Amino acid sequence: MKIKNIAIVGGTHGNEFTGIYLIKKLRSGQFQDSWDDLNVDLIIANPKAYEKSIRFVDDDLNRAFLNADLANLELSGYEANRAKVINQKIGLKDAPKTDLIIDLHTTTANMGVSIILLEENAFNLQMAAYIQKKVADSYIYSCSGSLDHPFLASLAPYGFILEVGPIPNGVVRQDIFDKTKDTLDVAFEFITLANSGNIPERNGTIEVFKHKKSVEFPRDQDGHINAIIHSNLQDKDYQPINKGDPLFVTLDGGIITYEEDETLYPVFINEAAYYTSDMAFDLTEKVILNIE
């Protein structure tokens, strides 16, 4: 198997500027020497949301790629149409002409460099392991398990969603920009090695954080969020939560603790985009996978 057709996508969320700036840099010809004879599409996925510096215009574009929604012409919002157009361009989802997608995101959470996998196939795991070895403060976060993902990156069988943080929405920081660029470079290094049959020797296991569930903010009687992420939890993405650990401080000064027996690992702690759905963070379990 050789990777030939690649899409690098920025601005799937219009207020995550880092990927958009990187696409602009790549379009101006930077870095491309090392890409040899790969076909690389450089896509700004949601230009209208970028123009307004908002996540989306009508609906979250990165939830618009379910097969049923792509086939449903009744869904006619900006992102519903845009998803269909992007599927035509780099999909089709059920018959992909693109081998590999890297979808560039940022988060307000302290998630370092997070490689989010939608499929735990051997190529993806090897690529993630390679990146993790070369990129500081990087984590592998798996959302595999669903037959049909709503994410843009699900249009191709290989690749990942790259989440780099913490960074506010609507700004670019050189440190986060450089981490994103460096990770992309390492991914291409791996792809080039893999295409030539020269994947370097590696450790036989990797640590993967597997998505388990979401945790909501506490709410008052009117349904409004009435608590703040506890300072002990803030910025502690990928660090274990044990029974009794504080999760929230409520506006009236109470503390809400973690009450389950199972040790889990939070991610997307205090991600701005999740407030609208009252989501405070996600919980993952840490597993060790063999790669071969």
By CB under 8 A, which span of 65-73, 174-182, 189-197, 205-213 interacts with a copy of itself? 174-182
Distances (CA, A) of 172 to 89, 139, 165, 270: 28, 22, 11, 19
Task: State the minimum distance, in angstroms, from the CB of residue 136 to a copy of itself.
Answer: 16
Sequence-distant (6+) residues with CB within 8 A of 240 are: 263, 264, 265, 286
Q: What number of chain residues touch a copy of itself (CB under 8 A)?
A: 38
Binding status of residue 166 toward a copy of itself by CB under 8 A:
yes
Binding status of residue 168 toward a copy of itself by CB under 8 A:
yes
| Closer residue to a copy of itself in complex, CB, 86/229 | 229
Binding status of residue 252 toward a copy of itself by CB under 8 A:
yes
Binding status of residue 239 toward a copy of itself by CB under 8 A:
no
Task: State the minimum distance, in angstroms, from the CB of residue 30 to a copy of itself.
Answer: 7
By CB under 8 A, which span of 84-92, 119-127, 148-156, 162-170 interacts with a copy of itself? 162-170
| Closer residue to a copy of itself in complex, CB, 96/266 | 266
Q: How many residues does the chain have?
A: 292
| Closer residue to a copy of itself in complex, CB, 71/251 | 251
Binding status of residue 264 toward a copy of itself by CB under 8 A:
no
Binding status of residue 260 toward a copy of itself by CB under 8 A:
no
Measured CA to CA, the distance from residue 41 to residue 156 in angstroms comes to 13
Sequence-distant (6+) residues with CB within 8 A of 235 are: 110, 166, 269
Mark 207-236 with x for binding to a copy of itself (rule: CB under 8 A) and - for no binding. Answer: -----------------x-x-xxxx--x--
Q: Which of 21, 66, 214, 245 binds a copy of itself (CB under 8 A)?
A: 21
Q: Which residues bind a copy of itself (CB under 8 A)?
A: 17, 21, 24-25, 28, 30, 53-54, 108, 166-175, 177-178, 224, 226, 228-231, 234, 249, 251-253, 270-273, 275-276
